[in-house]
Amino acid sequence: MTEDDNPWLRVKAWIAQHPELERWLRFVSPAFLYSALDERLAFDEALRQALHKRIPGFARRRTLCLGGAALVLFVNQVVTGVLLAVYYKPSTEAALASLRFVEQQAALGFLIRQMHAWGGSLMILFVLLHMARVFFNKAYRHPRELTWVSGTLLLLVALAFGFTGYLLPWDQTAFWGTLAITDLIGKAPLVGNLLLTLICGGRQVSELTISRFFALHCLVLPWVMVPLLAAHFAIIRRLGISQPM
Ligand code: HEM
**Percentage, residues of the chain above pLDDT 70:** 98
244 falls within a domain: no
161 three-class SS: helix
- Given a cut of 80, is residue 60 above it in pLDDT? no
76 and 155 together in one domain: yes
Answer yes or no: pTM beyond 0.75. yes
117 and 187 together in one domain: yes
As for how many domains the chain has, the answer is 2
Report d(CA 58, CA 53) in Å as an integer. Answer: 15
Q: Kindly report the length of the chain.
A: 245
**Mean pLDDT across 219-244:** 94
CA 211 to chain centroid, in Å, comes to 21
More confident position, 175 or 35: 175
- From the CA of 74, give the closest atom in ligand 1: 1
- In whole numbers, what is the pLDDT of the chain averaged over residues? 92
**Mean pLDDT across 81-98:** 97
**Mean pLDDT across 188-192:** 94
Using a 6 Å cutoff on CB, does residue 64 contact ligand 1? yes
Of 71, 142, 157, 232, best ligand 1 pocket probe by most atoms within 8 Å of the beta carbon: 232
- Of 217, 90, 199, nearest in space to 157 by CA: 217
pLDDT range class, residue 3, cuts 50, 70, 90:
low
122 and 194 together in one domain: yes
35 and 82 together in one domain: no
89 and 161 together in one domain: yes
- From the CA of 240, give the closest atom in ligand 1: 40
- Of 76, 162, 158, nearest in space to 114 by CA: 76
2 falls within a domain: no
Using a 6 Å cutoff on CB, does residue 152 contact ligand 1? yes
37 and 155 together in one domain: no
**Domain containing residue 26:** 7-51
44 and 149 together in one domain: no
1 falls within a domain: no
38 and 134 together in one domain: no
- Given a cut of 70, is residue 214 above it in pLDDT? yes
